[in-house]
């Protein structure tokens, strides 16, 4: 059992715009952005502005599968802004509703890279084991 002082401290970050308190909404931003957290924003904020306030996406972000989960109804909207981000095409950029969760997922290539990285580490451990075993038996 962990002692109280050994438990991990969870740090929450809050971001505010210049709007008055009654004109703000709360949005939780998760995933592949540089500064995930809880944002208190003006009611008319769109997804691009939210991502910009989070200092932009990470290099592993997947723009074609962003999820906006509306807090009041639990409705999940899948948003594809990849044509806008990658080619500057005119696509509908949605407004972010109050009490919503915005999730920016990882790209498939980054998931594969992470998986192969773990496989490489495991194979490295086996390689060391078999080298030690070989030198111990022959040596």
DSSP code per residue over 18-51: SS-GGGEEEEEEEESBSS-EEEEEETT-BHHHHH
pLDDT at residue 47 in the model: 95
- Report residues of the chain scoring pLDDT below 70: 1-22, 139
Can you give the length of the chain in residues?
A: 139
The CATH fold assigned to 10-106 is Outer membrane lipoprotein wza fold like (3.10.560)
Helices (H), the chain: 47-53, 82-87, 108-138
pLDDT at residue 115 in the model: 81
pLDDT at residue 6 in the model: 42
**CA–CA gap between residue 3 and residue 19 (Å, rounded):** 42
pTM greater than the 0.75 cutoff: no
Residues 6+ apart with CB under 8 A from 100: 27, 28, 68, 69, 70, 71
């Amino acid at each position: 059992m962990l002692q109280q002082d050994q438990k991990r401290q969870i740090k929450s970050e809050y971001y505010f715009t210049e709007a008055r308190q009654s004109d703000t909404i709360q949005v939780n931003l998760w995933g592949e952005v540089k500064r995930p957290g809880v944002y208190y924003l003006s009611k008319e904020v769109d997804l691009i502005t939210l991502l910009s306030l989070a200092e932009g996406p990470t290099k592993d972000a997947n723009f074609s599968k962003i999820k906006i989960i509306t807090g009041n109804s639990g409705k999940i909207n899948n948003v594809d802004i990849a044509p806008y981000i990658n080619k500057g095409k005119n696509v509908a950029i949605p407004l972010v509703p109050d009490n919503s969760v915005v999730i920016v997922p990882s790209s498939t290539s980054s998931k594969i890279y992470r998986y192969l990285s773990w496989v490489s580490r495991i194979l490295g451990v086996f390689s060391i084991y078999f080298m030690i075993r070989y030198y111990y038996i022959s040596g």
